[in-house]
Chain A
Amino acid sequence: GAVVSQHPSWVICKSGTSVKIECRSLDFQATTMFWYRQFPKQSLMLMATSNEGSKATYEQGVEKDKFLINHASLTLSTLTVTSAHPEDSSFYICSASLEGWTGGIEQYFGPGTRLTVT
């Protein structure tokens, strides 16, 4: 149980184009999903918190007009990188929160999406 999927797993796009990444919770409903980016050999940096039916909350320094997040249902959140540039090339990972058997809220992560902007 508690499986999170992402699509696509990797994508190459040209500079200036937009790319949409999907994050789905396959066997549970997630009112809250998170989007992270990870540069090579670095840790995960939280970009935004996505709540179903409301606007996403962005972390400081993250451009909300560039990274559009939509959480249309309890099982789907999307991240659109608009007007992508080479510096946007990164590994994007989503996660969804679920109460675990210990009673705490655990995060379950998707497999990630490798974005390369040429």
Chain B
Amino acid sequence: KQEVTQIPAALSVPEGENLVLNCSFTDSAIYNLQWFRQDPGKGLTSLLLIQSSQREQTSGRLNASLDKSSGRSTLYIAASQPGDSATYLCAVRRNSGTYKYIFGTGTRLKVLA
């Protein structure tokens, strides 16, 4: 059974810091991995999607890497801003035969002005 864990569970940093959020999964046979952002009481916004054959994806200040063999992904946020404060979730899609995603436990990020 696939389990997805995110460390740390919560993080508070001053504005301007570069930071790394971690996601680990127990079954390396994944099809892809997706990072999401969730603001309080809101739905999810997709940030980055990495296919199993890819090593990383970049969008603006965000960079996500994937090491499938070790069951890890990291989300790097450069020059953090207060507007980045949210919960970040990673999710893995198990295989190409299903669209189901298994979500991680999330990291609650607070960037202090």
Contact = CB atoms under 8 A, between A and B. Distances in A.
Most buried by B among A6, A49, A107, A108: A107
Contacts of A46: 100-103
B42 interface: yes
Interface stretch (A13-21, A70-78, A81-89, A110-118): A110-118
A100 B104 contact: no
A46 to B, nearest CB: 6
Interface string B82-100: 0000000101010000011
Name the interface size band of chain A: 20 to 34
Interface of B is mostly: strand
A34 B100 contact: yes
B34 A107 contact: yes
A79 interface: no
A103 B89 CA distance: 21
A61 interface: no
A54 interface: no
A43 B106 contact: yes
Name the interface size band of chain B: 20 to 34
Contacts of B45: 109
A111 B100 contact: no
Contact of A104 (B44, B49, B89, B103): B49
A105 B93 contact: yes
B43 interface: yes
A63 interface: no
Nearest to B99: A97
B103 A108 contact: no
A26 interface: no
Interface of B: 31-32, 34, 36, 41-46, 49, 51, 57, 89, 91, 93, 99-106, 108
Given A102-B49, A106-B46, A107-B34, 8 more contacts: A6-B43, A46-B100, A104-B31, A104-B51, A105-B32, A107-B99, A109-B46, A111-B43
